[in-house]
Amino acid sequence: MDMKLIFPGLFTLTLILGACQTQVNSNATADQVDPLDISSHDSSERPQSNFYLFANGSWLRKTEIPPAQSAWGASSTLHDTVLSRLHRILDSLSLSSNAPAGSPARQTGAFFASAMDSGGIEKKGYLPVKPELDSISAIQNKAGLFHEIAKEYSINHAPFFSFYVSADDRNSRLNAAHFDQGGLGLPNREYYFKNDTTTLKIREAYLAYITKIFTLLGQSPAESAKSAKSVFDLETAMAKISNTPVELRDPIANYHKITVVSSPEIKKLLVVFGISADTILVGQPGFYKGLNRLLNTTPLETIKNYLRFHVVSDDADYLPHDFVDAKFNFNKLLTGQKQMNERWKRMTTLVDEQLGDNLGRIYVQQFFLPADKERIGRLVDNIMATYAERIQHLDWMSDSTKQKALVKLNAIVKKIGYPDHWKDYSSLKISPDDIIANIRTTSRYEYDRAIAKIGRPVDRSEWQMTPPTIDAYYDPTQNNINFPAGILQPPFYFSSGDDAVNYGAIGLVIGHEITHGFDDQGRQYDADGNLKEWWSPEDAKRFKQRAENIINQYNGYVAADTFHLNGNLTEGENIADNGGLAIAYAAFKKTPQGKGNEKMNGLTPDQRFFLSTAQVWKMKIRRERLINMTLTNPHSTPEWRVNGPVSNMPSFYAAFQVQPTDSMYRPDSLRVKIW
């Protein structure tokens, strides 16, 4: 993540978004508007055979993925609603000249105006990035290279590796400088080595994209091809020294505290980064040793070409249309999109990324009710209380570890809607007609904030998502759960919805994030957020045995064609999906509706709960995106986020009369229960 992205240690719900859920009237009763979409059901499917298709089959058949989307589902329509709201806010701000200079309204409006100034952008050509290109051309040696790399990081580029500032995993109250592997243009190392037809085509397209960028910068066809090949070969060499996505999931194996005095090279790098620290955290020392060898043996012109390409590629969306089109034409092989999103949608997203607190403050004032924040708080408390009971009754965990688990659970801090304190951007000079200069300004602001944090106490009130974000996350080093305002609305939360629907949807989300504190990664952090062993060896062994069963279960699921889910890559998210659903259901059974059996629109409370969960995950995804997910995404694909967890729950079997001869049936010996 750049300085504004989600730190690698955060565990997110991560939805595949497209975009507008019709808002349920907040005054409507369940009799007037049923938040469950019965029309999505497929009567030709049996819930006992494929529950996901039974719940969503009719919708899946009728739904066409919009050309500008790689997927379309329940959360996609909400995404469009939120984007439209943000666009209306930005449109009014960009057209207004009444706001005081330097005010959040004036800054945000000017930023959006500059992003929408396509005419001005076309006239400038690639001149806005020429200062960076000239600086790269002036590099003469390794010292100059280090200076250039540091400068690139300060303006939102990330060449060669990943750098960010976050809590020290073993001393979570203090911030530290983190250096991880990175610098690849393809999604991860697997794309450089897999030899199936799809991946080979992606590599060919990536090489063509690099070539196109050099052509647009004025190189001849022969020069462009040569430059592109040198960049691709360098990235392939970097991929060879990179860890696999599964290897990156082990927090202990990826924690190495390095003293600065032990490495002259590190000391030189920190000086140009403006970092004053005695120690840093290096996730993958082997990668950095290999990278140092590469930088010493690779021709300087190749290194310059790598930097040139990544500077332009990173900024391509804010350059003339030839650059925008070149980047999209490559990316569509990864996503399957048929056409580009409208400019206003892309630029609205950009403003949320760059000035998120300015925009988020206005958004929550207009679209997030205090009453909803209070009700979500009560839901979280109910689910936390249920979680405590579940831990106390676990039959595989010793009493001593249970007590420590309860201490950690009770220490979890809930953050709902938006931050208590907003960032102050008032010192930033934002121009209404220079988008790249504006991005440089906000990037330097975030970079300077990050550098200033190193060695200082962590501000645990700070958020890593903006308020309109339709997602949620658990932070293991802070032991907190975070639910932005964006996700606290239909189809996840209905102000007037019955408990079955809300516990099956937002209750699942809440349970999912809490469970991240106890999944294969989160369980290694204690109540204070420190990477520290607190389990007995016997309990840790029993947990790993159960987690291995989850891995085996999901390894057997097919996402697309011959592409199976990777149970090791998705282990943590699958544990959170299974635990989250089980906890949400147990909490629902404490409500008056959950205790009863009164039908609503022909469905029992339990049936409504499970159908609500299934409909939250309904999603139609292009084949290209599905394949990309299996290689890069720690989450399972939508069908298996539904059918996987429910097939482990006896209450689902009872609700839909699942029998041993049914496809959804898993023998009791294979059903996985951890939390």
In three-state secondary structure terms, 406 is helix
Q: Which pLDDT band holds residue 31 (cuts at 50, 70, 90)?
A: very low
CA distance 76 to 615: 12
- Joined tokens for residue 579: 């635990």
CA distance 474 to 9: 9
Average of pLDDT values for 318-337? 97
Position 541: which residue type?
K
Contact call for residues 405 and 515 (beta carbons, < 8 A): no
Q: Does domain 159-315 have CATH number 1.50.10.20?
A: no
- How many residues does this entry show for the chain? 675
Contact call for residues 182 and 284 (beta carbons, < 8 A): no
User: Phi, psi at residue 34, to the nearest 5°?
Assistant: -90, 120
User: In which element (H, E) is residue 111 found?
Assistant: helix 104-116
The proportion of the chain whose per-residue pLDDT surpasses 90, expressed as a percent, equals 91
Average of pLDDT values for 84-102? 88
Tens digit of each residue's pLDDT (9 = 90 or more) over 582-634: 999 999 999 999 999 999 999 999 999 999 999 999 999 999 999 999 999 99
Q: Which pLDDT band holds residue 29 (cuts at 50, 70, 90)?
A: very low
Place of tokens 């009444």: 98
Tens digit of each residue's pLDDT (9 = 90 or more) over 182-205: 999 999 999 999 999 999 999 999
Contact call for residues 579 and 515 (beta carbons, < 8 A): yes
Give start-end residues of each CATH 1.10.1380.10 domain in the chain.
Answer: 159-315
The proportion of the chain whose per-residue pLDDT surpasses 70, expressed as a percent, equals 95
Q: What does the buried/exposed string (b/e) look like for 565-586 if buried means 16 or more CB atoms within 10 Å of the residue's CB?
A: bbbbbbbbbbbbbbbbbbbbbb
Residue 21 has pLDDT above 60, yes or no: no
- pLDDT for 101: 82
Domain 34-63+369-418+463-670 -> CATH class: alpha beta
- pLDDT for 8: 62
How crowded is the C-beta side of 527, counted as CA atoms within 13 Å?
11
Mean pLDDT of the chain: 94
In three-state secondary structure terms, 123 is helix
Cα–chain-centroid distance for residue 36? 27
Tens digit of each residue's pLDDT (9 = 90 or more) over 277-307: 999 999 999 999 999 999 999 999 999 999 9
Q: Which of 318, 421, 437, 430 is nearest to 360 (CA)?
A: 421
- pLDDT for 25: 31
CA distance 101 to 196: 56
- pLDDT for 27: 32
Place of tokens 């998210």: 573
Give start-end residues of each CATH 3.40.390.10 domain in the chain.
Answer: 34-63+369-418+463-670
- pLDDT for 406: 99
Residue 19 has pLDDT above 50, yes or no: no
Q: Which pLDDT band holds residue 562 (cuts at 50, 70, 90)?
A: confident
Q: 582 vs 318, 603, 645, CA distance in Å?
A: 45, 20, 8
Cα–chain-centroid distance for residue 104? 27
Position 173: which residue type?
R
Q: Which pLDDT band holds residue 265 (cuts at 50, 70, 90)?
A: confident
Q: Which pLDDT band holds residue 30 (cuts at 50, 70, 90)?
A: very low
Average of pLDDT values for 467-475? 98
Contact call for residues 522 and 674 (beta carbons, < 8 A): no
Contact call for residues 614 and 53 (beta carbons, < 8 A): no
Contact call for residues 650 and 58 (beta carbons, < 8 A): no
Residue 371 burial by Cβ neighbours in a 10 Å radius (0-12, 13-18, 19+): exposed
Compute and round to an integer the Cα radius of gyration of the chain: 25
- pLDDT for 24: 28
Residue 23 has pLDDT above 80, yes or no: no
H helical segments located in 161-319: 197-216, 221-240, 264-273, 285-297, 300-315
The DSSP 8-state label assigned to residue 646 in this structure reads H
